[in-house]
Amino acid sequence: MRLTGNIGITGNQNFANISSVSIYNYNSNVNYNQFGQGVSLNMLGNPDLEPQKTQQISTSLDFNLFNNRLTGYFNLYKKETNPLIVPVDLPSSTGVFSYPYNVGSLTYKGAESKITFFPIYDLAKGLTWSLGLTASSYKSEYNGFGDLLASLNKKQENDKNLVRYIDGNSAEAIWAIKSLGIDPATGREMFLTKEGQYTFDYSAANIANVGNTVANMEGVISTNLRYKQFTFGLGLRYRIGGDIYNSALFNKVENISYTNITNNQDKRALYERWKQPGDISQFKGISQTSTTPISSRFVQSNNTLSSESLNIGFLFNNEPWLKSLGLESLSTNFMANDFLYFSTVRRERGIDYPYARTFAFSLKASF
């Protein structure tokens, strides 16, 4: 067994126009300046800007037990970026859209593990069988913003963005108004205010943290079997907990535009809507033509189990018929990916890439 720990600080150079020096653009258009070429201020630099630094502390326990029958590691880490560099909006009278500030911090705390166990490990007979499990989990938290990013959060709200920069909350949090579902009597959506009252009226003041896109735990379950020339390997990826905002339902059922309605209308917009008093429905009445706001009604718990990989192979060697063909060896291999998928969230167009199964077969000969 081995116990290790480390600490380190790294910088970050992945910035675009955020800078400690002002940036200018040359402008030779005579429509702006008839006297010749000039310059215009593109980015106002902050001379007191500090570099963004990330401190990471981690510790790991590696183990190898029972004559290599049980191996793996457990790792704990903490990553804190302080200070952050954030472009803060300036008044329009300044002529500059934003100004880079050092404000706030972002902390990640997480754990990772990997365990491999061999129920059968007999090299003399050429037989080995292993079971493997990887798992990871993390949480993040913003701090030190105060009210400095109020204008940025307001812009996120106007842009119908699910992200906010608020102290004590996760960077992966989903921000929306809490929904109580569709009122069976009227077909209208009901909302929950911060005071705990029911209302039909949407108000941005009631937007709250309604979910998180990070899984409680995720990883891969695997098994590998080898018997003489035969090999078999299977990997299943799992995800437990966490949420997803189903943008396909939000955009294609209740908020589809008049332009797209003839090209890509979701049939649930007609068949699964509230129709008459007493109906229990996920979607509001079709007579409710007002724009549907971002709400927790479209936040769904995201638990999945999918096939990571499948590999089946066989190696032919020292066979009499190989010699007659002038071959040293012949190997066959069958591979498949994404052939199984189970989830609490239906795969919708617009959430991720199309669901595609991949199968491959290979034949390799050595002379």
Residue 29 has pLDDT above 70, yes or no: no
Residue range 2-14: mean pLDDT, rounded: 90
Nearest-CA neighbor of 230 among 131, 333, 156? 333
pLDDT at position 46: 83
- The most confident of 76-90, 228-242, 349-363, by mean pLDDT: 228-242
The answer, as to whether pTM is greater than 0.85, is no
* 35: Cβ contacts below 8 Å, ≥ 6 apart: none
Strands 189-192 vs 105-122: parallel, antiparallel or unpaired:
unpaired
Q: What phi and psi values does residue 126 have, to the nearest 5 degrees?
A: 70, 30
pLDDT at position 17: 55
Of the candidate ranges 13-22, 294-303, 338-347, the one whose mean pLDDT is the lowest: 13-22
Q: Where are the domains of the chain?
A: 58-366
pLDDT at position 366: 85
Average model confidence (pLDDT) across the chain: 87
Compute the distance between CA of residue 349 and CA of residue 268 in angstroms, rounded to an integer. 13
pLDDT at position 297: 95
pLDDT band at residue 20 using 50, 70 and 90 as cut-offs = confident
Per residue, what are the HEC states of the chain?
Answer: CEEEEEEEEECCCCCCCCCCCCEEEEECCCCCCCCCCEEEEEECCCCCCCCCCEEEEEEEEEEEECCCCEEEEEEEEEEEECCCEEEEECCHHHCCCEEEEECCEEEEEEEEEEEEEEEEEECCCCEEEEEEEEEEEEEEEEECCCCCCHHHHHHHHHCCCCCCCCCCCCCCEEEEECEEEECCCCCCEEEECCCCCEECCCCHHHEEEEEECCCCEEEEEEEEEEECCEEEEEEEEEEECCEEECHHHHHHHHCCCCCCCCCCCCCHHHHCECCCCCCCCCECCCCCCCCCCCEHHHEEECCEEEEEEEEEEEEEECCHHHHHCCCCEEEEEEEEECCCEEECCCCCECCECCCCCEEEEEEEEEC
| Residues 230-269 pLDDT 10s | 999 999 999 999 999 998 888 888 887 777 666 666 778 7
pLDDT at position 79: 96
pLDDT band at residue 215 using 50, 70 and 90 as cut-offs = very high
pLDDT at position 33: 62
The residue that leads in pLDDT, 92 or 362, is 362
- The most confident of 47-56, 107-116, 246-255, 347-356, by mean pLDDT: 107-116
pLDDT at position 321: 81
| Residues 86-128 pLDDT 10s | 877 777 777 777 778 888 999 999 999 999 999 999 988 999 9
